[in-house]
Chains A and B, each alone.
Chain A
Amino acid sequence: MPNAIGVINLAINQPLLHELTYSRSTAAVPFGGRYRLIDFVLSNMVNCGVKKVAVFTNNNSRSLMDHLGSGKEWGLDRKQGGLFILPPSTIPNGTFGGDLQQFAANLDYFLRSKEKYVIISSSHMVCNIDFSDVMRSHVRSGADLTLIYKELNSQTEDLSDSITLDVGLNGRVRAMRDSHIEQGSNKVYMRMMVISKELLVDLVKRSVSQNYYDLLRHVIMRNLDRWHVNAYEYKGYLGIINSITNYYRNSMNLLKPENWHSLFFCPSVIYTKVKDEAPAIYSEHARVTNSLIANGCIVEGTVENSILFRGVKVHRGAIIRNSIIMQKCEIEASAILENVILDKEVHVSVGTWLEGEKLVPAVYSKKSVI
């Protein structure tokens, strides 16, 4: 069991995904046929034995709170430790003071824990990572800070809007670069770090008094040379969910069984809120190929290269291609959907034809009736 507590930091720097984040926070965006983005990092923490996790929330957190509940699904409904949902707090003059203010307002969360380290992570980097291995690397290196990265191919992956690491031969981070400003390496920082609690508390106290706002940009990135910053390379599947296009692309990547296996099973399983749906049922007329289908689906039509979330109904004669259909959508007979994302509970009437562009899917917001 690692000597660490977790923080899922949703206070700032959360990419927005247009229609999908109009009424929910990014962390609560449905992904992979049955999950929400936050499930991955939360399960990763729990799977390595972290017993205490705080979630720094921001706006639009109803669906996120509903999803997390008491933390039971992740085994975090505990007397000791467990799940702490910590909403944003404003500084005395009424403005929002960034994530540093949220750390400062909740210092007791850290001070009351006996664990020595803190794992801080965002939720929009979808992966299955063994944090206990990261912790071993952190402790062995004797570093003040460990940053987790993945080396990506800039030809095939979209590295815009990312922070890259310049890693020396000794495994230390020499520089961090914001891809908005200057081009860096292909080592993309996964917005996950391990830091000693003592250093974190000290940084928060000093930075808040100087009116700093952003832990990553104002504190960590500006002071790299002051500390021993260790780099940890993650090698498994990574989906960076920072735009609708990337959301779509990374979802479709799950239709390759090796990615499906890597993200959902290696090294551990991903937990989510259970919906108690019966297994999916395929009728005599169902034609399904190269698709992910969740429980509770009733499939009577054609589904190709698509992802159906839990409880989707596809009536006879309907055709769905290259699309993502979220929970409880109903696609009536003879409707044709191509390159679309339907948010939850969308109803598509008989014979409707919806088509998006190949790389830019058309998105239909929650509960629309088409």
Chain B
Amino acid sequence: MFKKECIAMLLAGGEGRRLGLLTQRLAKPAVHFGGKYRIIDFTLSNCSNSGIDTVGVLTQYQPLVLNSHIGIGSPWDLDQKNGGVTVLPPFVEQNGGRWYKGTANAIYQNLNFIEQYDPQYVLVISGDHIYKMDYSLMLEHHKAQQAEASIAVIEVPIQEASRFGIMSVDEELRITEFEEKPKHPKNNLASMGIYIFNWDVLRSYLLLDEQNPDSSNDFGKDVIPRMLREGRRMSAYRFQGYWKDVGTVESLWEAHMDLLAEKPELDMYEPEWKIYAVNPNQPPHYIAPTARVQRSLVNEGCLVYGTVEHSVLFYGVHVGAGSHIQDAVIMPNVKIGRNVTIHKAIIGAGTIITDDAVIGSPDSPDVILIGENDYIQPAIIPHS
């Protein structure tokens, strides 16, 4: 193998339990997003657009959909002769094998993979977030700061800060303190779960961490705090832009609604920073004479006869005449009959909704979630 300056390790094992029905058969990074993509497409596209051509994808829960989605990485231009994308599931050795115990353990178990490339730096990212980021700028920052570890940070509303790893930094952006999900956060600089390490330093800490029986083998809980305690040079890299964890039904829905803003914070139409995805090869969508489509995203392969307002339609969705879809996310190949009303809902892929069904209501505070390949008839009005 050729030596690489920087390779990426992408943690894609998230179970996404809070996404309920959507993650019954697939891992969180494989959940559909943005009318066309899966969540992991954003990080894979970031890698590709940042010039990182070697990515190890660590899978764990329900890997089938994710594995076939990633394939050999050609949609992201990651089907490379040297490097490219490699899916790294937990494996069994002669003396046994085991599930990845934590984020750090997942990397530890793949030391051999990393060492093939003899990298100087390792970028650790997760496949759970929606954002566009040029990792090469973060690497420049890491080098300029002569850091041994860099953590990307974003300012979050202080009332939400206790959901994140929160950092204190000095005026040179050196990290002075790190608290994982603090009850009483001291400030609002949240870790985005994006790390760049000098490989020799990370390697030694992974070995130490593995020997510690009390460790949960997690970057945020164990490895980062220990490095800080031991006085390693750690730098914060400030990120400005759209970044969202779509770990709950509510936040997944919200993130879709964010795309429908007058000027969305996340621009998916930038020619220099395309988001790549597996292409379903569908023709342009058809908007019938009876249809009305406003403030919406519509993908290829859709047939629209009804009204679609402030909603996202993935590929292959049919909306029958007289139906009204509002504030909804309709995942791939959902077939909606006539005179159906849908408000504030996420409809899982492949579901069929027959004529006259009513889902959700305009004044409901909750987002209604309907799972994949379901069959909804008018008599059944599901609750969230």
> Contact between B293 and A288 (Cβ–Cβ < 8 Å)?
yes
B283–chain A nearest beta-carbon distance, Å: 4
> Contact between B283 and A280 (Cβ–Cβ < 8 Å)?
no
> Contact between A278 and B294 (Cβ–Cβ < 8 Å)?
no
- As a 0/1 sequence over residues 265 to 308 of chain A, the CB contacts with chain B under 8 angstroms (1 = contact) are 00001111010111111111111111111111010000000011
User: Is residue B146 contacting chain A, with contact meaning CB distance below 8 A?
Assistant: no
User: Is residue B91 contacting chain A, with contact meaning CB distance below 8 A?
Assistant: no
User: Is residue A260 contacting chain B, with contact meaning CB distance below 8 A?
Assistant: yes
A285 to B277, CA, bound (A): 29
> Among A32, A279, A286, A296, which residue has its beta carbon within 8 angstroms of that of B283?
A32
A291 to B304, CA, bound (A): 10
User: Is residue B295 contacting chain A, with contact meaning CB distance below 8 A?
Assistant: yes
Residue of B nearest to A310 (CB): B284
A192 to B284, CA, bound (A): 27
User: Is residue B96 contacting chain A, with contact meaning CB distance below 8 A?
Assistant: no
> Contact between A293 and B287 (Cβ–Cβ < 8 Å)?
yes
> Contact between A34 and B283 (Cβ–Cβ < 8 Å)?
yes
Chain B contacts with A in 278-327, Cβ cutoff 8 A: 279, 281-289, 291-300, 303, 312-314
> Contact between A257 and B303 (Cβ–Cβ < 8 Å)?
yes
User: Is residue B268 contacting chain A, with contact meaning CB distance below 8 A?
Assistant: yes
A295 to B312, CA, bound (A): 13
B interface, size bucket:
35 or more
> Contact between B303 and A278 (Cβ–Cβ < 8 Å)?
no
> Contact between A279 and B286 (Cβ–Cβ < 8 Å)?
no
> Contact between A34 and B294 (Cβ–Cβ < 8 Å)?
no
> Contact between B269 and A289 (Cβ–Cβ < 8 Å)?
no
Residues of A within 8 A of B292 (CB): 287
Chain A contacts with B in 299-339, Cβ cutoff 8 A: 307-309
> Among A269, A276, A294, which residue has its beta carbon within 8 angstroms of that of B274?
A276
- As a 0/1 sequence over residues 145 to 158 of chain A, the CB contacts with chain B under 8 angstroms (1 = contact) are 00000000000000
Known contacts A279-B297, A279-B298, A280-B298; is A32 also within 8 Å of B269 by CB? no
Residues of B within 8 A of A294 (CB): 284, 300
Residues of B within 8 A of A260 (CB): 283, 286
> Among A270, A285, A287, A292, which residue has its beta carbon within 8 angstroms of that of B285?
A292
> Among B36, B287, B291, which residue has its beta carbon within 8 angstroms of that of A278?
B36
> Contact between A290 and B283 (Cβ–Cβ < 8 Å)?
no
A36 to B177, CA, bound (A): 58
User: Is residue A97 contacting chain B, with contact meaning CB distance below 8 A?
Assistant: no
Residue of B nearest to A283 (CB): B295
User: Is residue A255 contacting chain B, with contact meaning CB distance below 8 A?
Assistant: yes
- As a 0/1 sequence over residues 38 to 53 of chain A, the CB contacts with chain B under 8 angstroms (1 = contact) are 0000000000000000
User: Is residue B34 contacting chain A, with contact meaning CB distance below 8 A?
Assistant: yes
> Contact between B74 and A288 (Cβ–Cβ < 8 Å)?
no
Residues of A within 8 A of B287 (CB): 288-293
> Contact between B36 and A279 (Cβ–Cβ < 8 Å)?
yes
> Contact between A257 and B294 (Cβ–Cβ < 8 Å)?
no
Known contacts A34-B300, A257-B303, A279-B36; is A293 also within 8 Å of B285 by CB? yes
> Contact between B269 and A298 (Cβ–Cβ < 8 Å)?
yes
B44–chain A nearest beta-carbon distance, Å: 12
> Contact between B34 and A279 (Cβ–Cβ < 8 Å)?
yes
User: Is residue A84 contacting chain B, with contact meaning CB distance below 8 A?
Assistant: no
Residues of A within 8 A of B288 (CB): 257, 289-290
Residue of B nearest to A291 (CB): B287
Residues of A within 8 A of B294 (CB): 282-286
Residues of B within 8 A of A32 (CB): 283-284
User: Is residue A6 contacting chain B, with contact meaning CB distance below 8 A?
Assistant: no
A355 to B314, CA, bound (A): 35
Known contacts A276-B276, A290-B289; is A33 also within 8 Å of B34 by CB? no
A307 to B277, CA, bound (A): 24
Residues of B within 8 A of A288 (CB): 287, 291, 293
Known contacts A33-B283, A260-B286, A292-B284; is A279 also within 8 Å of B35 by CB? yes
Residue of B nearest to A294 (CB): B284
Residues of A within 8 A of B36 (CB): 278-279, 295
User: Is residue B336 contacting chain A, with contact meaning CB distance below 8 A?
Assistant: no
A276 to B288, CA, bound (A): 25
User: Is residue B358 contacting chain A, with contact meaning CB distance below 8 A?
Assistant: no
User: Is residue B11 contacting chain A, with contact meaning CB distance below 8 A?
Assistant: no
A284 to B297, CA, bound (A): 12
User: Is residue A72 contacting chain B, with contact meaning CB distance below 8 A?
Assistant: yes
Binding site for B on A (CB under 8 A): 32-34, 72, 255, 257, 260, 263-264, 269-272, 274, 276-296, 298, 307-309
Q: Please name 15 pairs of A and B residues whose Cβ atoms are closer than 8 Å in the assembled complex, sorted by A.
A: A257-B288, A257-B303, A260-B286, A264-B282, A271-B281, A276-B275, A280-B285, A280-B298, A280-B299, A281-B296, A282-B296, A283-B262, A289-B291, A292-B283, A293-B284
